């Protein structure tokens, strides 16, 4: 029988064995946790750098962390100690609200990204994937998740790749809606991730099905698109529903 749960309960927030205090501050709320440098550094690259580099935290007995939501920080701390991505705890926080449940998974991924905990990327991304697959008819949830991911994250992230996979392999009818096309115009990184996914699958002909340019008397590239990002990936065209390819990236 595994002893991990007992080990987890013994150590987390145990002031007797602790050698670092975490003061987590968000707006007017402050929480304190008794932690252990060795355990934090094992999974938490942020702390490894703080405790071993030329930073004041290396010799301090406490460290302040700001702006992260208390419930997400506590979830992350439990994950660091237990190696358990506790979906039940997230479900309780969401209290049956599907959109909030999706935003919590995205929030956990975002916190892992900010705190440099790569091992948390995969479970958070897969959690979001399963939530979406179980909610295929919930277009409000899908739209909410897309906007939350692509307003906050950079190009070609693990969570972005999983989201695009679900959209184009499982929800293709939604991906062909006018609403999704508008989102690609509003969120250039979304449009770029769609293009990269289709490019990686060698589905070049499908690129013409997605509107990422403005079509008038003559096709013109959408000025909101991140040309530098597209060019860095070797993609120099955008596609319009008129099926014409438009050179979107100026040659220098």
Q: Starting at the edge strand that comes first in sequence, how are the strands of the sheet with 20-26 ordered?
A: 29-35, 20-26, 62-66
How much of the chain, in percent, has pLDDT values that exceed 70? 73
- Range from 18-27, 51-60, 79-88 that averages highest in pLDDT: 79-88
Q: Which pLDDT tens digit goes with each residue over 42-83?
A: 888 888 888 887 766 556 788 888 878 899 999 999 998 888
Fold of 1-81: Potassium Channel Kv1.1; Chain A (3.30.710)
pLDDT band at residue 247 using 50, 70 and 90 as cut-offs? very low
Mean pLDDT along residues 234-249: 49
pLDDT band at residue 195 using 50, 70 and 90 as cut-offs? confident
**pLDDT beyond 90 at 234:** no
* Average pLDDT, rounded, for the chain: 79
Q: Which pLDDT tens digit goes with each residue over 69-80?
A: 899 999 999 998
Mean pLDDT along residues 113-137: 91
Q: What are phi and psi of 12, to 5 degrees?
A: -65, 130
More confident residue, 249 or 76: 76
Mean pLDDT along residues 147-161: 89
The whole-number pLDDT of residue 203 equals 56
Which region among 4-13, 77-86, 93-102, 202-211 has the lowest average model confidence (pLDDT)?
202-211
Mean pLDDT along residues 177-181: 87
Q: Say what the pTM is.
A: 0.74
Mean pLDDT along residues 173-185: 87
What are the extents of the domains in the chain? 1-81, 85-175
């Amino acid at each position: 029988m595994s002893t991990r749960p007992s080990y987890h309960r013994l150590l987390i927030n145990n002031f007797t064995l602790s050698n670092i205090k975490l003061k987590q501050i968000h707006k007017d709320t402050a929480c304190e946790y008794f932690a252990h440098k060795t355990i934090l550094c094992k999974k938490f690259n942020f702390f490894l750098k703080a405790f071993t580099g030329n930073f004041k935290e290396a010799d301090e007995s406490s460290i302040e962390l700001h702006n992260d939501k208390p419930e997400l920080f506590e979830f992350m701390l439990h994950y660091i100690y237990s190696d358990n991505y506790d979906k039940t705890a997230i479900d309780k926080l969401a209290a049956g609200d599907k959109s909030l449940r999706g935003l919590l998974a995205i929030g956990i991924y975002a916190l892992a990204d900010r705190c440099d905990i790569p091992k948390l990327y995969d479970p958070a991304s897969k959690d979001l994937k399963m939530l979406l697959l179980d909610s295929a008819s919930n277009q409000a949830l899908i739209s909410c998740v897309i906007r939350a991911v692509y307003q906050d994250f950079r190009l070609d992230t693990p969570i972005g790749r999983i989201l695009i996979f679900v959209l184009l392999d499982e929800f293709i009818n939604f991906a062909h809606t006018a609403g999704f096309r508008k989102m690609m115009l509003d969120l250039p990184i979304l449009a770029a991730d769609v293009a990269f996914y289709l490019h990686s699958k060698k589905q070049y002909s499908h690129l013409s099905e997605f509107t990422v340019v403005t079509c008038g008397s003559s096709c013109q590239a959408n000025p909101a698109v991140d040309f530098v990002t597209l060019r860095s990936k070797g993609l120099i065209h955008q596609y319009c529903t008129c099926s014409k390819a438009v050179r979107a990236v100026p040659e220098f």
